Structure formats: C-alpha cells, structure tokens
C-alpha cells in the first residue's frame, strides 16, 4: 500500500510538471524576439515583443560592443512606459527615469550630483568627466562650468559625458541644474546645485585654443 501511495504521488508530480512545461511553451510561442547585431557579431539590440505579430509593445535592451547592457525599458503602444535605465560601458548607472505614456516624469526630489574625473585637474590637461544625477535623464541635465578654456560634449564616448581643459589654477566651479516636481501638484521647479574642484598648476601642458 505504501509503495502504491508513493507511485501515485510521483504520477501526480509528473502531471503537474508536464502542465508547467506546457504553460511555458505556450507563453514562449506567444512572444517573439528580434535582434540587431554589430558588425562584430555581438548583439546591439534586443526586442522581446509581448505578443507575436504586435510590434508596438515590447521590452527593449540595447548593448555596448563589450556586451554590457546599455539601456533597457518597456514600450507600450509605441510609447515608453514605466522605469527606463541607461548605463555607462563599465556598468555604472547613467540615469534611471520613469515614463508615463511616453512622457518623462520629473522626480519628487533630487539627490546630489555625482562626478567622476579620469584624472586630477591640471591646467591645460584634457580631462574626461561624467556627471550624473539620480532620477534625471541625461539630456535633461544642464551642466555649466567656470575656469575652462575648452569644453567638449562627449556624446560619442561610452564612459564619459565631457572632455574639459582647465584654464588656470585655483577652483573650477560646476553648476548642475535640473527640474523636479513642485510643491503644488502638476507643477515643476528648477533646482541648481553648485560644486567646486581644485585645479593644480602644471607648466608641462600648453593651453588649447
């Protein structure tokens, strides 16, 4: 009797397992995945559509050439929806924002800007810089500098946002401005944050014109 009971339990488990496998297969059949590749053969973009034949709603994932995830988010009826994120090529988060029916939503509050310099600030020396602010889309972030002879927006770089060349020793000022939700519902307000960083003198570098 005990043996029969064990066999019956095993048969029930097998039936349950088959049902689960069947459900997974059905869901997989309803979805469709589309890929775009770099010339090297690595994946540049992946779209996982919610329903087969419907190309208006999907999960989008973009990749760097080093296979690191570049950007990810959901598209519903051809509009961005929910939380979207983008990363630098080294895996650090560039921005994380929320969309509602294609519209980016300003955050309720702002933290402090994060800065990453490729090296110490030295007069005349080109330095790479990344500037990020949690909850803010990079293109919505206004960054202003003082004490610079050259400023280049590094849109084509995977690791940084700017290339800067300090003009003189002393403190270099950086002002970061962004919008956040206002105290009154449906309003927004502009917030400015200022930081300063010391620039060291160095006669080995010639100022770029």
Place of tokens 């053969």: 41
Are 113 and 205 contained in the same domain?
Answer: yes
- In a domain, residue 56? The reply is yes
Residue 17 counted as domain residue? no
How high is the pLDDT of residue 179?
Answer: 86
β-pair type (188-199, 58-63): unpaired
Domain end (from 58, 74, 105): 105
Compute the C-alpha angle 137/139/143, nearest 5°.
Answer: 105
User: Phi and psi (nearest 5°) for 158?
Assistant: -95, -10
126: left (phi over 0), alpha (psi -120 to 50) or beta: beta
Range of the domain at 93: 31-105
Q: Could you say which DSSP state residue 78 is in?
A: T
Q: How many CA atoms lie within 13 A of 195 on its CB side?
A: 10
The series of mean pLDDT values per 10 residues for the chain, 209 residues long, is: 53 54 44 91 95 92 95 96 94 90 87 91 91 84 85 73 90 91 79 93 60
| Phi, then psi, of 130 in degrees rounded to 5 | -120, 140
In a domain, 13, yes or no: no
Query: Which of 11, 12, 67, 58 shows the shortest CA–CA distance to 33?
Result: 58
Longest dimension (CA), the chain: 93
- Assigned domain for 6 exists: no
Report helix, strand and coil shares of the chain as percent, to nearest 5.
15, 45, 40
- 189 and 113 inside one domain: yes
Q: What integer pLDDT is reported at residue 181 of this predicted model? A: 81
CATH number at residue 205: 2.60.40.10
The residue out of 42, 77, 105 marking a domain boundary is: 105
The tokens of 6 are what? 């064990």
Q: Is 112 in the same domain as 169?
A: yes
Q: Are residues 37 and 131 in the same domain?
A: no
Nearest to 191 by CA among 179, 183, 182: 179
Number of domains forming the structure of the chain: 2
pTM of the predicted model as reported, rounded to 2 decimal places: 0.70
Whether 4 maps to a domain, the answer reads: no
In a domain, 156, yes or no: yes
Q: How are beta strands 148-153 and 142-145 bridged, if at all?
A: unpaired
Shared domain for 100 and 189, answered yes or no, is no
What pLDDT sits at residue 8? 56
Same domain flag for 114 and 137? yes
Question: 133 with 99, same domain?
Answer: no
- Asked whether residue 5 is domain-assigned, the answer is no
């Amino acid at each position: 009797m005990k043996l029969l009971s064990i066999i019956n339990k095993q048969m029930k488990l097998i039936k349950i397992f088959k049902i689960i496998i069947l459900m997974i297969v059905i869901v997989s059949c309803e979805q469709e995945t589309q890929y775009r590749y770099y010339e090297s053969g690595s994946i540049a973009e992946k779209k996982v559509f919610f329903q087969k034949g419907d190309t208006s709603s999907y999960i989008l994932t973009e990749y760097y050439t080093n296979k690191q995830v570049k950007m990810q988010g959901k598209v519903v009826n051809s509009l961005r929806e929910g939380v979207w994120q983008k990363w630098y090529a080294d895996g650090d988060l560039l921005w994380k924002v929320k969309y509602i029916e294609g519209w980016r939503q300003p955050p309720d509050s702002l933290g402090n800007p994060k800065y990453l310099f490729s090296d110490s600030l030295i007069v005349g020396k080109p330095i790479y810089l990344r500037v990020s602010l949690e909850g803010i889309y990079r293109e919505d972030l206004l960054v202003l500098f003082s004490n610079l002879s050259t400023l280049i927006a590094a849109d084509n770089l995977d690791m940084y946002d700017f290339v800067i060349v300090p003009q003189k020793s002393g403190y270099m000022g950086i002002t970061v401005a962004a919008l956040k939700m206002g105290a009154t519902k449906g309003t927004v307000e502009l917030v400015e944050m200022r930081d300063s960083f010391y620039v060291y003198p160095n006669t080995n570098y010639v100022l770029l014109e």
